[in-house]
Amino acid sequence: MPAPDQGDGTAMGAAVLEMVAQGLSGPVLDRLAPGSLPGPYRVSTALGDTTTHGLLGTRCDLELHGRPDRLTAWGHADHVLGLPDAGAVLVEGIRRYDGRRVLLLLPLDTPYTQVREQRLGALAGARYGHLEVTALAVPGHALLGTVQRHASLLHDAVAATRLGLARLLSDLAQQSVCGALAHAQRRPFQDGVLAGRQAFGHAVAEAAAAVRMCHAVTRRAATASGPARWDRAVRAGVFVARAVPQSVGTACRLFGGQGFMDGHPMAAAYREAVFAPVLLGGQQRLVDSMRQRLAGETSPPTLADGQAPAQTVRQAQAQGVGRPGQHPVPGSMR
C-alpha cells in the first residue's frame, strides 16, 4: 500500500482508493460475486448510511420498483469514490415490494445510468462522482442478496476500511508533526532555533499526544471482533477525524507561512487532513449510540434491518451508560 505523501496530494488519494478497494469493494465482491468482475479497482461502492454510518461521505438513495421478476432501479448516489473511473458500482437499494434493503451490482455503461464527476477539493488522486439511475431494469443475477443476510460481511468490511483510513490519516498527522519538528530544528529563531522555544515544544507535545492516541485507539479497535469491532471502529474513526485536523493544523501553524504555500507538503497535508471527517464519518452514529444506551435501548451498533444478535443485546445491556463499545478485549485489563 502506498504511504500518503505530504508533497503530492495524488498519493493520498491513491492510498485511499486502494484502501477502499482492498477493504470494502474487494472482500464484498469476492464473497458475493466471485470471478464476475475484472477486479475491485474497477468497481465503486455506494452503500447506505445505515450500513456505513457516513464512511467516505457517500449517500445512496436507490429504490427497486416493480414485481419480483421485473425490478427496475430508480434513484441516485452522491460522493461515490472512484465512480468516474469505474465500470460498475456495488450499491444498496430498497426493494419496495418487501421493504428489504438489497445489494446490487450495476453496470455503468448503460443509457439508464449517468455519472457526473464531483470535485471535492481533496484527495487529488481520487475522483468522486454522482450517480443517477433511471428505470434501469435489474436482472436477477445483479441482485447479490439482502443487506440483512450479509450484514456481518458488510460491517466487517466497513470497519476494516474505516480503520485502514484512520491509520492512513494518523500516519499523515504523524508525518506532519515530524515535519514541523524537523523544520524547527533548522529554523533560526532569535538567539537559537525555533525548536528550542518552550511554546513550540508544548504545542508539538500536544500534537504528538493526539497522534499517539489516534494510533492507539485505531489499533485497539482492530483487535476487537464482531459488533464490538464495528462500534469501536466508528468511535475510533470519529476521534481520528477530529484529532488529525487539529494535529496537522498545529504542525502547519508551527511550520510557519511557508507551509501555507500551494504545493508545499504541509499545505497538501492540511488539505487532506481537514477532509478526514468526511472520509471517516460516524459522528451521528456516535451520538445515536449514546442516546440509545441512555434510553435503555438495546439495538446493536450497526446491524442492518434492526436485527440484533442476542449476544450484542446482552453486551449492550451489560455495559454502563456512557461507556459505549468498551467490551473487554481478551487479555485486556480494561
Partner 1 sequence: MKPSMPSPATPMTDQPLLGPPPPVLDPGSPAAFNESARALADAEITPNLAHWERQGSVSRSLFEAMGRAGVFGIGVAVEHGGLGLDLAHGISFVRAVMREPAAGVCTSLSVLTHLVAPLLARHGTPGQRDRWLRPVLAGRCVASVALTEPGGGSDLVRAVATTARPEPDGWLLQGEKTFITNAPLADVLLVLARTTPGTSALGLTLFLVPADLPGIVITPLATAGLHASPTGRVSFEDCRLPREAVLGRPGLAMVLLAGILPEERLAIAAGALACARWALERTARLLGASDQAMPELAWWDAEIEAAETFVDAAAERIGGPQDQLDAALAKTAGARLAQRVVQDCARLSGPGAYRDDEPAPAMLSALRDVRVLSVYGGSCETVRDTAAAELLRGALTPTQGPPTTTQATPTAP
Which positions lie near partner 1, rule CB under 8 A? 3-7, 11, 174-175, 177-179, 181-182, 185, 195, 198, 200-202, 204-217, 219-220, 235-236, 238-239, 242-243, 265, 283, 286-287, 289-292, 294-295, 320-326, 328, 331-334
Closer residue to partner 1 (CB): 135 or 295? 295
Going by the DSSP 8-state scheme, the letter that residue 195 receives in this structure is G
Contact, 110 vs 131, CB < 8 A? no
Closer residue to partner 1 (CB): 57 or 324? 324
Q: Shortest Cβ distance from residue 115 to partner 1 (Å)?
A: 32
In sequence order, what are the residues at sequence separation of 6 or more whose Cβ sits closer than 8 angstroms to the Cβ of residue 330?
Answer: none
Q: Shortest Cβ distance from residue 74 to partner 1 (Å)?
A: 34
Q: CA–CA distance from 281 to each of 52, 93, 291 (Å)?
A: 8, 20, 18
Q: Shortest Cβ distance from residue 270 to partner 1 (Å)?
A: 14
Closer residue to partner 1 (CB): 129 or 324? 324
Dihedral sign for Cα atoms in the order 104, 109, 112, 116: positive
Q: Shortest Cβ distance from residue 249 to partner 1 (Å)?
A: 15
Q: Write the DSSP assignment of 6-26 as a string of letters.
A: TT-HHHHHHHHHHHHIIIIIH
Q: Shortest Cβ distance from residue 191 to partner 1 (Å)?
A: 17
Burial 238-261 (b: 16+ CB within 10 A, else e): bbbbbbbbebbbbbbebbeeebee
Contact, 245 vs 211, CB < 8 A? no
Q: Shortest Cβ distance from residue 56 to partner 1 (Å)?
A: 20
Q: What are phi and psi of 261, to 5 degrees?
A: -75, 135
Closer residue to partner 1 (CB): 25 or 250? 250
Closer residue to partner 1 (CB): 38 or 188? 188
Q: What is the three-class DSSP state of 64?
A: strand
Closer residue to partner 1 (CB): 29 or 269? 269
